[in-house]
Structure 1
Amino acid sequence: MGKSQKKKKQYHRPAPAAPMVNSSSQRSPEKAASNGNLILIAGFVVVLFLFWYYHLLVLNQMTDLSNGLTMPDQMIGGYSVEHIEALRQAMDADAVGQLNYVHKTAGLLFPLFLALITMLAVNINTARGAGRWALWSVPILFAVADLWENRAIDALFISPLDPSAVSLASTLTTASWILLIATAAILFGVLIASFVRTFREKWELSKKGLL
């Protein structure tokens, strides 16, 4: 008898299935914009709190340590050598140390947070180009001027008192307030423009029955 030939079964590997894509996890421009707006809202609340805490609460309370004299940070129009000299006589070492501590905490966080939130708002709601850089330059200059002002004011309480140092600190205080107002105007303007644009888009979609 001849050897029986056994037919080998051929197994065909099934074609690999296409990977399933979870569309819910994909990052769409609308979802990115929504996340950015949530960050903006949270950051805006933090900025308002820091402004209230720094300028309206702590610096006002510092007048209890200076016989009622206003802190240089709050004098939008600047100040004179006589005002700083009166502060130096009214504030003891503990009061000066308290002002220095305020500058290193709330005085540091407020300008940085405001500058970052404003730049984020501009980045989300404006197109790339020279206009975006122009809007970015204002909060950047504000942060630089405000932080420099803090150091300049702290230096005024180190003897001897230099009139040129008072002039520099006074100029920085006025400049920082002007830049603060300009930065706040940009932030509010960008947020309002974004709100109006979103409202108009949703209104148009609702008129077409797409919402």
Structure 2
Amino acid sequence: MSQRRKSTRGNPSGQKSSSGMNPQPDQRAARGLKAFREAERKGQSAAQTPQRRPQDMKDGFLTEANHRAAEGEYSSPRILVYALLVIAAFMFSYLHLYAMPQLRHFAGGLSMPDARLTGYDTEDLQQLRSVMEDSAAGQLSFLHITAGVIFPVAFFFATWAVMGLLLGPGRVRWVAVAAAAVFAVVDIAENILIDQALAQSEPSEGLVATASLLTQISWAMLIVLGTAVVLVVLADAARMRREKSR
């Protein structure tokens, strides 16, 4: 009775290969060492990373993912800019388009001093004080120390972000930022003087004249700076569209 040799199954490494298709670990190591020595003789490194060809580059980036990641980095400052712009626009709308008009119902239909772009005099404030209810005066004072402070500060930071991050380097952007800081100081000082004038039974002409002048200056600066900010934002948006269309 003949005994048949059992063939090795399930483990190809255990089978003998005369054709060399499945080299043993020592054979693979020898081949790797040989390739390494050949690379050293040619002045190359076997572990050197293949160089990227110029045709592999696209707009200075190796891959589309790198391109999108870089675009994300460039767009991050714009997120801050737009967030500050939204806050400043919201506070302006709340203060001058909602809260101030609401107070007119408690002042016989007369507008608040803050809303008078051309200014006011002592007679205007005395007339306003005579028809204004005590609750309205308190609400105006409270509005001055809340939204009246938050808005100019938010506008300053929005102007700083737009001019500093979207506008190119130069003296113009620092002039705009300095002007926004002056506007914030003028607007807050105007609110303080208005409250002081309305609190007096007979406000002095000098106090009213100073408050009126600050009101006119703040409105003029707000219009000029607001226009400059809008123009810079629109120019940046147009430039971004041109870059994406290339």
TM-score tier (shorter) = 0.7 to 0.9
| 2:90 matched residue in structure 1 | 49
| 2:242 matched residue in structure 1 | 200
Distance between the aligned counterparts of 2:122 and 2:96, measured in 1?
22
1:115 pairs, out of 156, 165, 168, with 156
Distance between the aligned counterparts of 2:73 and 2:243, measured in 1?
17
3-state secondary structure, aligned to 2:199: coil
Cα distance change on mapping 1:29 and 1:145 into 2, 3 Å: farther
- TM-score where L is the length of structure 1: 0.79
Higher RCO, 1 vs 2 (CA within 8 Å, ≥6 residues apart): 1
Given residue 81 of structure 1, which amino acid in structure 2 is its aligned partner?
A: T
Over alpha carbons, which structure has the higher Rg?
2
| 1:178 matched residue in structure 2 | 220
Number of matched residues? 179
| 1:13 matched residue in structure 2 | none
Shift in Å, 1:191: 0.5
3-state secondary structure, aligned to 1:77: coil
> Is residue 65 of structure 1 aligned with residue 106 of structure 2?
yes
Q: How many percent identity over aligned positions?
A: 33
Shift in Å, 1:195: 0.9
3-state secondary structure, aligned to 2:168: coil
- Equivalence map 1:26-175=2 (5 Å): 30-159=71-200, 160-175=202-217
Structure 2's unaligned 5+ residue stretches are 1-64
Give the 4+ runs in structure 1 shifted more than 6 A: none
Distance between the aligned counterparts of 1:149 and 1:29, measured in 2?
45
Distance between the aligned counterparts of 1:40 and 1:128, measured in 2?
17
1:12-31 per-residue CA deviation (whole Å, 9 max, x = no partner) reads xxxxxxxxxxxx9xxx8744
8 A contact 1:33–1:124 mirrored in 2 = no
1:31-76 per-residue CA deviation (whole Å, 9 max, x = no partner) reads 4431111122222222222111110111001111111111000000
3-state secondary structure, aligned to 1:67: coil
1:158-205 per-residue CA deviation (whole Å, 9 max, x = no partner) reads 22410111100110111000011112112101111111111222222x
3-state secondary structure, aligned to 2:119: coil
Distance between the aligned counterparts of 2:90 and 2:102, measured in 1?
16
1:68-109 per-residue CA deviation (whole Å, 9 max, x = no partner) reads 111000000001211100111112332211100001111111
- TM-score where L is the length of structure 2: 0.68
1:128-156 per-residue CA deviation (whole Å, 9 max, x = no partner) reads 33222112122112111111111111111
Distance between the aligned counterparts of 2:182 and 2:74, measured in 1?
26
Distance between the aligned counterparts of 1:193 and 1:182, measured in 2?
17
8 A contact 1:142–1:183 mirrored in 2 = no
Structure 1's unaligned 5+ residue stretches are 1-23, 205-211
Distance between the aligned counterparts of 1:30 and 1:187, measured in 2?
23
Given residue 114 of structure 1, which amino acid in structure 2 is its aligned partner?
A: F
Distance between the aligned counterparts of 1:154 and 1:32, measured in 2?
46
